[in-house]
Amino acid sequence: MHRCLIALTALLIAASVHAEVTVQDPWVRATVPGQKTSGAFLQLTSSTDATLVGARSPVAGIVEIHEMAMDDNMTMRMRAVKAIPLPAGQAVALKPGGYHVMLMDLKETMQAGKTVKLTLVVKDGKGELEDVDVEVQVKPLGSKL
């Protein structure tokens, strides 16, 4: 009985290492016909320390994590980043003017009111990759939040 309890405790501890990531307010900016890029924005909260390391979507040929940042305190520039830390219990916002998911080589026009699928790839504290699938609402072109 004692060995079963130890084994069960070890299993529960191992299971708790996996990050449980919640997604709030996901949206994608609408595009005009022929436009090949858009951005996806959302808020992520992980139950344990984790890292957002990638994303994919059937509506885009290329999906990358990007950051808008000041270059020499003069010009705002966008650049790809390899990962975004998700500290345990802290909401991390991916929003216009900051971190975001860039959808490139779009296969269709992003029409306001529609939804698109987005899969976020998260690395948990043990280094294991987990997929987080999200249905994302397409908002009109002028949307900021």
The band of 145, judged by pLDDT with boundaries at 50, 70 and 90, is: low
Residue 27 covered by a domain: yes
The band of 3, judged by pLDDT with boundaries at 50, 70 and 90, is: very low
Quote the CA–CA distance of 123 and 63 in Å, as a whole number. Answer: 17
Domain coverage including residue 47: 19-139
Number of domains in the chain: 1
Residue type, 122: V
Residue-wise pLDDT for 49-100, tens only, equals: 999 999 999 999 999 999 987 666 666 778 889 999 999 999 999 999 899 9
Q: Is the pLDDT of residue 10 over 70?
A: no
For residue 105, what is the domain's CATH number?
2.60.40.1890
Q: Is the pLDDT of residue 2 over 70?
A: no
Tokens 């908002």 label which residue? 139
Residue 95 covered by a domain: yes
The pTM of the full predicted model, rounded to 2 decimals, is 0.82
